[in-house]
Structure 1
Amino acid sequence: MIDPKAMTTLGLLSRANAARRPDAMCHKFEGRATTFAQFDALADKVANALDAQGAKLVAYLGKNSDAAYELLVGTARAGGIFGPINWRLAPEEVAGVINIFGPDVLCVGPEFHAAVEAIRDQLPADLTLVAMEGGHETWPAYETWRDAHPAGYPDDKAGPDDPCLLLFTSGTTGLPKGVMLSGGNLLRQRAAMAEAAMAYDSWEDDDINLVAMPFAHIGGLGLWVISFANCCGAIITREFDPIEAMDLIHNEGVSRLFAVPAALQFIVRHPKAKETDFSGIRSISYGAAPMPLPLLRECLEVIGGKLTQVYGMTETTGSICLLPPEDHDPAGSPRMSSAGKPMPGQEVMILDPEGNEVPLGEIGEIATRGPQCMIGYWKNPEATAKTKTEDGWVKSGDAGYMDADGYVYIHDRIKDMIISGGENVYPAEVESVLYGHPAVSEAAVIGVPDDRWGEAVKAVVTLKEGASLDEAAVIGHCRQHLAAFKCPKTVDVIPAMPRNASGKLLKRDLRAPYWEGRGRQVN
């Protein structure tokens, strides 16, 4: 175990790793391996490059890569803030995020050069653009920008409570919010887990982590931090591909991975799974959506290993509750429908609308407090005050209850958020785009059960007088303005929206037919 003093900032942790295992693999990306000593030196160069420019805010638009983590740690070491942007967003959404953040430097992956060129006039004029993996006529190549500066950096400028990471999450109004996280948020939980010495979370030096979930999500970036905190190697893939994942498990010794249930489904139901040796898998963690019992059985049968469910959100730097392997019963049990128990060092409380704790077994809003809870939302004190109380409790927006043994059960979502394939979709954002269609009079967006994605986005609309509607055209209209995962998969036309006596739209009435016969209103 690394010295606990190093588990406070990413820069200190990187130094400690380089000293402990300098020649061991830190990570591998598309055949390129980097040792812990090499990684630490590259992070130094990034920090020196930022200092030379006087830059503190760094944005990244790209798929997963090894260089993205150099940027993360180098920016933190220089006392700056690193903000990865979800590459699945539409160009105008990307412009919105960049303008909220206001970065000094934007590093752009090769797949997104054209998209950034298209919105260049919407971005700050003094923004420095850097081309990841080279290949741009006017922007400097990342390697050139980085390697123009020496390794060696005098000190880690970031303290454990200073913001070093900004992860953007869509807001209920459609406006993205930047979640500010510190080095302490990222690492103190890992120290608490190590102290608890849970057998399924005890990493060995030969463990290899598969990092395939998106870098701009806490489930992807945070997973890399876990292996980095344990001074273990990680294999990074540009994006999740079930065939590639199985190849790395079979041939490269991958022993640990995190995936959303939809990704695990792609693996276990692929014909290649029958030819893949999964015997080296020691632990699989999953989250971002519940695991249906039939899929759990398939995973245990095909992959084996120890399965751990985690529950959390970006505002809590990932997991706050954990359902351990011993509670995964293929035959089914009441605990299999829970999100598990609070993780070491984390408190969970169920609140009524006035903020008071409710009795055990009663439904309320799930709230949490602990070392992982965010600093707040970037330049948004009003949103911060609504989510985080003065005494540090972060409200989840999820409705649930706690049993006498401390297990937390999720019942519904207070904020109407839809989770499709592990991606958060906020109905208000999609509804705003639907209202821009010339045939649509009113629009409501709901999540409906989907065997592949957990939930699918459905639009329910009423039409303007005399108008007709083509479903494909409406979906195409949404795709012009939104990331594909946010767009409705289906569109229903109804004569009138259900409302209560005061005129409030009753989304629960729209949802009810699709969720009939299910014990909870999330899939």
Structure 2
Amino acid sequence: MRASESDTWLAKMISPQSEDESEDDILYNDRKFSWSAGYPHWEIFGGGTRVVATDALTSSSLFSLTEAVAEIIKREKVTHAVLIQPVIDILMKEQIAIKLKKIVILGTVGFRSVLDCVGKICDELVNMYGMVEFGTIAAGSYRVNDVNTYKHKVLSVKPLPGVELKVTDDNGHLVPVGDRGLIQVRSQKRFTGYLNHASRWVDQLVRTGWLNSSDGGYITTDGFMVIEGRINGLMDVFGLKVYPFQVENAIKGMKAISNAVVIPIREKETKFCVPCAAVVYHPGSENTTQNIQEYIREEFAFTKENPIMASVYVPQVVVKFKTFPQTSNGKPDRHGIAAEVKRQIDPKKYECIE
């Protein structure tokens, strides 16, 4: 069995379909799974008999983790590595001397700034996109010649052989090239559904062959797919629907910011929801709330004559974190972040939305 991540924080079990999986395989699990795109990679590839909530690289901070990773890469003469973007960012900023043939990023959104590592700490960067239900379904490869010509804020991918991708609206209708929407997947690989878990997306899969990925993105004019992030957590700001990743991706474009999560908070006086940004700065870097707000206005090309739209996308509150709390798969724990935001915001003006 495999376990899938879920927007409800309750894992869904998926029957194995791959020919390379055997019923004779036994994996003893005495704690929560340690995730990597749904798979306990570290423990299985390491020959372990137990899958635990944390692995051998658990560290007190992202910086110490990066130092440990760099030491392992140099000591073991590693040529290929799977890394998360914040680790790559620190390797670059601290000018840690490593050189790899290839770096692979997966399980998280890859931002354009990560391409700075190509030609410096690696010869090639590969951005992989997948789902537990289908495995790896798309990828994009970047070498030195691609860095200067890449124009999108988020890295793009193309489907692997046997996989189709499309972008639709909420009703399943195709949206024009360049318009944001829901990413749907159809693959020659098929799974039979979730164990004891009904899902309208599985019903759709049975009827049409297409599965909703729960991710948002758009098709570029040159035929690539830009994956922008999860569509869950849709914010209703002044009656307009805003995806958190739209604001998060813009904030992450700032050189001083390592990571950002946007959550809705409610103004007590007006009862309206407004965006709040939780940010992690690069070591030795910091910025003001006003500078962040001005940057977002420029990114979305808001003018003084259009204050309502600016209020929809520009964070009204910015909360600084040293590091984000993480889920067991290494992604930002939005529930934990929201709890800390609740402690830091002015309780007379705002309240968190449960």
Name the TM-score class by shorter chain.
0.5 to 0.7
Bigger Rg, which one: 1
Pair 1:405–1:227, CA change in 2 (3 A): farther
Matches within 5 A, 1:78-477: 164-167=1-4, 169-171=5-7, 174-180=8-14, 182-184=16-18, 215-218=34-37, 221=40, 237-239=56-58, 241-270=65-94, 273-274=95-96, 276=97, 278-279=98-99, 281-297=100-116, 299-300=117-118, 302-317=120-135, 319-326=136-143, 329-334=146-151, 337-372=154-189, 374-385=191-202, 388-403=205-220, 405-410=222-227, 413-416=230-233, 448=248, 449=251, 454-456=259-261, 458=263, 460-462=265-267
Cα separation, partners in 2 of 1:403 and 1:462, compared to 1, 3 Å: closer
- Structure with the higher fraction of residues in helix conformation: 1
Deviation at 1:315, TM superposition (A): 3.8
Aligned residue for 2:156, secondary structure, equals coil
Structure 2 contact 185–211 (Cα < 8 Å) conserved: yes
The amino acid of 2:6's aligned partner reads S
Q: Shift in Å at residue 408 of structure 1? A: 0.8
SS in 2 for 1:409: strand
1:362·1:401 contact (CA, 8 Å) conserved in 2?
yes
What does the per-residue CA deviation read over 1:464-484, in whole Å, with 9 as the maximum and x for residues that have no partner?
A: 9xxxxxx9xxx9xxx9xx996
Q: Go from structure 1 to structure 2 and tell me whether the alpha carbon gap of 1:343 and 1:181 turns closer, same or farther (over 3 Å shift).
A: farther
Runs of 4+ in 1 over 6 A off after TM superposition: 223-228
Structure 2 distance, partners of 1:351, 1:186, is 33
Maintained 8 Å contact 1:293/1:332: no
Shift of 1:393: 1.4
How many residues were matched structurally?
255
Aligned CA distance change for structure 1 residues 410 and 224 (closer, same or farther; 3 Å): same
Secondary structure of 1:267 counterpart: helix
Change beyond 3 A, Cα 1:390–1:217: farther
Q: Does structure 1 retain, via aligned residues, the 8 Å contact 2:119–2:144?
A: no
Q: Tell me: CA distance 1:344–1:407, structure 2 relative to 1, closer, same or farther (3 Å).
A: same
- Check whether the contact 2:111–2:153 (CA below 8 A) recurs between aligned residues: no
Give yes or no for contact 2:166–2:174 (8 Å, CA) kept in 1: yes
Give the 3 Å change call, closer, same or farther, for CA 301–403 of structure 1 in structure 2.
Answer: closer
Give the direction of change, closer, same or farther, for the CA distance of 1:496–1:409 in structure 2 (3 Å limit): same
- 2:126 is paired with a residue of what secondary structure? strand
Q: Tell whether the 8 Å contact from 1:445 to 1:457 is kept in structure 2 after alignment.
A: no
8 Å CA contact 1:185, 1:371 repeated in 2: no
Distance 1:385 1:248 in 2: 42
- Once the two structures are superposed, residues 185-215 of structure 1 have per-residue CA deviations (whole angstroms, 9 ceiling, x without a partner) of 888xxxxxxxxxxxxxxxxxxxxxxxxxx93
Q: For residues 183 and 128 of structure 2, what CA distance do their matches in structure 1 show?
A: 15
Asked if the contact 2:178–2:219 (Cα under 8 Å) also holds between the matched residues in 1, the reply is: yes
Q: What RMSD over aligned residues (CA atoms) do the two structures have, in Å?
A: 4.4
Cα separation, partners in 2 of 1:222 and 1:337, compared to 1, 3 Å: same
State, as a whole percentage, how many aligned pairs show the same letter. Answer: 17
Q: 1:264 to 1:183 in 2, by over 3 A?
A: farther
Q: Which TM-score applies when normalising by structure 1?
A: 0.40
**Letter matched to residue 16 of structure 2:** S
TM-score by length of 2: 0.56
Secondary structure, in 3 states, of the residue corresponding to 1:353?
coil
What SS class does the counterpart of residue 12 from structure 2 fall into? Answer: strand
CA shift for structure 1 position 407:
0.5
Give 5+ residue unaligned stretches, structure 2: 22-32, 48-54, 60-64, 236-241, 270-316
Matched-pair contact (CA < 8 Å) for 1:459–1:490: no
Instruction: Summarize the Cα distance change of 1:294–1:262 in structure 2 as closer, same or farther, 3 Å threshold.
Output: same
CA contact (8 A) 1:351 1:358 kept: yes
What letter matches 1:368 in structure 2? V
